[in-house]
């Protein structure tokens, strides 16, 4: 009887332990029936892909401000890109030429319209670099602008003379500027990259006078001044002058660069004669937005614009318009670094020429 009682007691104890373990297991796996289940914590939303289309952009028309005259190389390239971007993002883009003040009026106008991504603007060297250096109270600086893309390959300045000029070669040009204290030349705009390029060249030619620069309304104005004899020579963009040169209407004697122009292969570059730092004075056409524009909009516009720049259709446009072709598509950081370096060089040239 004593052995039966112990066995019975051991069996009961085992059953109690088993029930207890089962209860614990059930308690760990689900809440009691009289308590509501706690909601699960949501995972954070995944970050949007770089360049993804923002949910609420664009919902209205975009203005594209071009701070130079209609028909200029910057204007034509801007319109080509604006048309392609309009088709890409599915909203109307209106190009507006807002000229004056060596590009500064248009740039200030664009910046004053806000930073919501509905104002895009084009920039060139004079308004982006020279004018802020020469006029500290101009109302804006590089820190106010987000540079998105180069819209054409960099162009270079050239020296062009009339076909009947005594200046036939670069050596003739050196002899002319070192033997004449007074001479005049046309530049497309005051303080533009062409103006800075010729100042840099004259500053590096021993014994050369700086002459007198006369600013005209773009390349057309400078070229017409050359043809009418108002100046001894003209500084022109290579992608403007090459058609006149190839047609025999003028004589382009030098490219103000380290290497010859894509379209002026038989015209020597001053870099071949020991002139330094000319590539840093290339002509840039850049698209930008207000620096405070939301990052997701900037990223989206950048992706769409870069896609257009890399397209076969845009490459064909560049070749047909005398702009050459892109060696690569530079990103915002690379472009900004180039411009910052140019600020340093421009300041040195302007100071040496007594313009600052």
Q: What is the homologous superfamily of the domain 62-154+284-352 according to CATH?
A: Bordetella uptake gene, domain 1 (3.40.190.150)
The yes-or-no verdict on residue 43 having pLDDT over 80 is no
- The owner of tokens 């029936």 is 33
Write out the DSSP string of 156-209: -EEEEE-TT-S--SHHHHHHHHHH-S--EEEESSTTSHHHHHHHHHHHHSTT--
40-44, 81-85, 312-316: segment of lowest average pLDDT: 40-44
Q: Cα 319–323–327 angle (5° rounding)?
A: 85
Handedness of CA 58, 153, 224, 256 (dihedral sign): positive
The yes-or-no verdict on residue 29 having pLDDT over 80 is no
Helix (H, G, I), strand (E, B) or coil at 276: coil
Output 60 or 26, whichever has higher pLDDT: 60
* CA 38 – CA 207 distance, rounded (Å): 87
Cα within 13 Å of Cα(99), Cβ side: 11
Helix, strand, coil abundance in the chain, percent, nearest 5: 45, 15, 40
Express each pLDDT in 207-264 by its tens digit: 999 999 999 988 899 999 999 999 999 999 998 899 999 999 999 999 999 999 988 9
* CA 139 – CA 1 distance, rounded (Å): 108
Q: What pLDDT is stored for residue 14 in this prediction? A: 42
The yes-or-no verdict on residue 30 having pLDDT over 80 is no
The answer to whether the 62-154+284-352 and 157-281 domains have the same CATH topology is yes
Strands 285-290, 157-161: parallel, antiparallel or unpaired by DSSP? Answer: unpaired
Strands 251-256, 157-161: parallel, antiparallel or unpaired by DSSP? Answer: antiparallel
In three-state form (DSSP H/G/I as H, E/B as E, the rest C), the secondary structure along 197-264 is HHHHHHHHCCCCCCCEEEECCHHHHHHHHHHCCCCCEEEEEHHHHHHHHHCCCCEEEEEECCCCECCE
* CA 25 – CA 142 distance, rounded (Å): 66
Q: How far is CA 268 from the centre of its chain?
A: 28
Q: What pLDDT is stored for residue 4 in this prediction? A: 42
DSSP letter, residue 272:
G
Region 302-328 average pLDDT: 91
39-53, 147-161, 177-191: segment of lowest average pLDDT: 39-53
* CA 261 – CA 85 distance, rounded (Å): 29
Helix (H, G, I), strand (E, B) or coil at 290: strand
Strands 62-66, 233-237: parallel, antiparallel or unpaired by DSSP? Answer: unpaired
The yes-or-no verdict on residue 39 having pLDDT over 80 is no
Does the pTM exceed 0.85? no
Contact between 226 and 150 (Cβ < 8 Å): no
Region 271-298 average pLDDT: 94
Q: Which two tokens stand for residue 133?
A: 């250096």
Mean of the per-residue pLDDT values for the chain?
87
Q: Which residues contact 346 (CB under 8 A, 6 or more apart)?
A: 129, 130, 133, 196
Contact between 144 and 119 (Cβ < 8 Å): no
Q: What pLDDT is stored for residue 77 in this prediction? A: 94
Q: What percent of the chain has pLDDT over 70?
A: 87
Q: What pLDDT is stored for residue 343 in this prediction? A: 94
Q: Considering only CA atoms, which of 48, 42, 80, 1 is closest in space to residue 287?
A: 80
Domain ranges across the chain: 62-154+284-352, 157-281
Q: At the topology level of CATH, where does 157-281 sit?
A: D-Maltodextrin-Binding Protein; domain 2 (3.40.190)
Q: What pLDDT is stored for residue 191 in this prediction? A: 86
Report in angstroms the alpha-carbon separations of 129 from 72, 123, 133: 19, 10, 6
Region 73-101 average pLDDT: 95
Q: What pLDDT is stored for residue 1 in this prediction? A: 39
Q: Which two tokens stand for residue 26?
A: 């059930």
Region 61-73 average pLDDT: 93
Q: Considering only CA atoms, which of 29, 73, 81 is closest in space to residue 309?
A: 81
Q: What pLDDT is stored for residue 334 in this prediction? A: 95
**Position 47 confidence tier, pLDDT thresholds 50, 70, 90:** low
């Amino acid at each position: 009887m004593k052995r039966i009682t112990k066995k019975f007691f051991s069996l009961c104890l085992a059953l109690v332990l088993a029930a207890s373990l089962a209860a614990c297991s059930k308690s760990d796996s689900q809440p009691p029936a009289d308590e509501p289940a706690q909601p699960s914590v949501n995972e954070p939303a995944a970050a949007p892909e770089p360049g993804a289309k923002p949910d609420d952009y664009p919902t209205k028309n975009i203005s594209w401000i071009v701070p130079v005259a209609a028909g200029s190389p910057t204007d034509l390239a801007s319109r080509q890109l604006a048309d392609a971007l309009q088709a890409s993002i599915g909203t109307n883009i209106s190009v507006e030429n807002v000229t004056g003040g060596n590009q500064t009026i248009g740039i200030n106008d664009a910046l004053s319209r806000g930073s919501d991504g509905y104002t895009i603007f084009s920039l060139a060297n004079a308004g982006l670099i020279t004018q802020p250096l020469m006029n500290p109270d101009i109302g804006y600086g590089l820190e106010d602008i987000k540079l998105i893309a180069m819209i054409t390959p960099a162009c270079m300045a050239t020296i062009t003379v009339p076909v009947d000029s005594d200046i036939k070669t670069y050596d003739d040009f050196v002899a002319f500027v070192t033997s004449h204290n007074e001479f005049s030349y046309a530049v497309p705009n005051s303080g533009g990259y062409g103006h800075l390029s010729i100042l840099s060249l004259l500053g590096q030619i021993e014994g050369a006078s700086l002459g007198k620069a006369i600013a005209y309304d773009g390349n057309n104005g400078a070229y017409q001044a050359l043809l009418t004899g108002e100046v001894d020579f003209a500084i022109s963009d290579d992608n403007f002058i090459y058609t006149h040169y190839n047609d025999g209407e003028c004589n382009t004697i030098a490219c103000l660069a380290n290497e010859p122009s894509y379209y002026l292969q038989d015209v020597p570059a001053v870099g071949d004669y020991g002139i330094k730092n000319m590539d840093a004075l290339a002509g840039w056409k850049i698209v930008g937005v207000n620096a405070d524009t939301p990052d997701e909009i900037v990223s989206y516009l950048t992706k769409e614009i870069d896609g257009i720049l890399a397209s076969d259709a845009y490459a064909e446009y560049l070749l047909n318009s005398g702009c050459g072709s892109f060696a690569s598509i530079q990103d915002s950081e690379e472009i900004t670094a180039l411009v910052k370096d140019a600020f340093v060089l421009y300041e040195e040239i302007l100071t040496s020429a007594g313009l600052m």
